Amino acid sequence: MAAVVFTVDAHTATGHKALSSREIVEGAARHSDVLIPFASVDPHDGAAAVDLLRELVTAGARGLKLHPSLQGFRPDDPAFSPLYAAAADLGVPIIFHTGQTGIGAGLPGGRGIKLRYSDPMLLDDVAADHPGLTVIMAHPSVPWQDAAISVATHKANVYIDLSGWSPKYFPPQLVRAANGLLKHKVMFGSDYPLLTPDRWMKDFAALDIKDEVRPLILKNNAIRALGLDPA
State the pairing for strand pair 186-187/94-97: unpaired
Q: Distance between CA atoms of 190 and 163, rounded to whole angstroms?
A: 4
CATH T-level topology, domain 3-226: TIM Barrel (3.20.20)
Residue 138 CB contacts under 8 Å (≥ 6 apart), including other chains:
95, 96, 97, 98, 161, 163, 164, 189
Give pLDDT tens digits for 91-141: 999 999 999 998 989 999 999 999 999 999 999 999 999 999 999 999 999
> So what's the pLDDT on residue 11?
97
In which residue ranges of the chain is pLDDT below 50? Answer: none
- How crowded is residue 105: how many other Cβ atoms within 10 Å of its Cβ? 11
> So what's the pLDDT on residue 28?
97
* Contact by Cβ (8 Å): 16, 72: no
> So what's the pLDDT on residue 229?
78
Range list of H helices, 45-171? 47-59, 68-71, 81-90, 122-129, 145-154
> So what's the pLDDT on residue 109?
92
The SS3 of residue 25 is: helix
> So what's the pLDDT on residue 81?
98
> So what's the pLDDT on residue 231?
61
56-62-64-65 Cα dihedral, nearest 10 degrees: -120
CB half-sphere exposure, 84, CA atoms < 13 A: 23
Q: Give buried/exposed letters for 38-48 (b at 16+ CB in 10 A, else e).
A: bbbbbbbbeee
Domain chopping of the chain, boundaries: 3-226
